[in-house]
Amino acid sequence: MTFKVTILGSTSARPSASRFPSSHLVNHCEQYFLVDAGEGVQSRMMKAGVNPLRLNAVFISHLHGDHIFGLFPLISSLGLMGRKLPLHVYAPHPFGEILDYHLRYFDSQLPYEVIWHEVDTTAHTLLYENKVLEVWSVPLRHRVPTAGFLFREKAAELNVRKEAIDRYGLGVADIVAAKRGEDVTTASGEVVANELLTYIPWEPRSYAYLSDTNYSGKAVKLVQGVDLLYHEATYAEDMRRDAKERGHSTTLQAARAAVESGAKRLIIGHFSSRYKDSAPLVEECRTLFAESYAAREYDEYDIEMKRTSTEP
């Protein structure tokens, strides 16, 4: 099952000749989700080979321009492209007011509905789910109300061991009960514990997006064990005071978040325009967390499926 993150933007507020404003594209089982929508995001989606019509939902962390200015042209273009399905947008208050003005003056006759879901930036809340995936809000610490997002697979359905079927003479009803996690009573009256009958085929995978924010121990706890962590690192460590005042993080703070969350990999981004080369920033992170990488436009990160058990 596909679980892939594509970087569409890596810079902070000031324009850059070589980077674009913040945006990530998540592909989970060919369901596409946009996380933040910096200026020009629709063009970058197409350059990345993804038709914008395939978007399921958009998640906006906060209402600063470098995270949202690309959403309204995207809404217009989806109308021109003939979208019919509703587009769900998850964003903090007062996004609804901004959306209303846009629809009134620019897109009053869209062929589809834009549905806003308000994100409570103070709460860890389930925002979205389908059969295999959940998306949770993660409260962050910025100058305006801000939330990160945790994409987490639901636990895989239990598999029944083939050899257990023969050993205990399991029938169809027994197999169904075992898949539900229940113990099974055999024809002879023996109660067989579920763990002797089943195994979890793979571990649920996860991706967390934490931008913009000061370092937050609360956020770190909420993304424990994450496979892929994106954490803003607007500044190098020598600018820690500026980072604190402006509601941002440094390289070493991002690396600390990766260490303390038990993340498998760290991507840093939202770079200040003062940094023409991200390599020194990555090296600074790697002094604490070796699996650190710089966000670069069109880079793809696959979160591989990890089997937890196999048939004996």
Token look-up 């809000």 returns 137
Q: In whole angstroms, what is the distance from residue 147 CA to residue 79 CA?
A: 28
Provide the pLDDT confidence category of residue 10 given band limits of 50, 70 and 90. very high
Q: pLDDT (tens digit, 9 = 90+) per residue, 59-115?
A: 999 999 999 999 999 999 999 999 999 999 999 999 999 999 999 999 999 999 999
Q: pLDDT (tens digit, 9 = 90+) per residue, 231-270?
A: 999 999 999 999 999 999 999 999 999 999 999 999 999 9
The catalytic residues are: 66
What type of residue is 196? L
**Where do the domains of the chain lie?**
3-156+200-302, 159-198
Sign (positive or negative) of CA dihedral 105, 106, 112, 115:
negative
Please give the C-alpha separations between residue 17 and each of 46, 59, 191, in angstroms, as whole numbers: 19, 26, 68
Q: In whole angstroms, what is the distance from residue 243 CA to residue 232 CA?
A: 11
Provide the pLDDT confidence category of residue 181 given band limits of 50, 70 and 90. confident
CA neighbours closer than 13 Å in the CB half-sphere of residue 297: 19
What type of residue is 263? A
Contact 121, 146 (CB under 8 A): yes
Q: How is domain 3-156+200-302 classified at the CATH fold level?
A: Metallo-beta-lactamase; Chain A (3.60.15)
Please give the C-alpha separations between residue 22 and each of 11, 119, 202, 203, 281, in angstroms, as whole numbers: 6, 19, 32, 29, 17
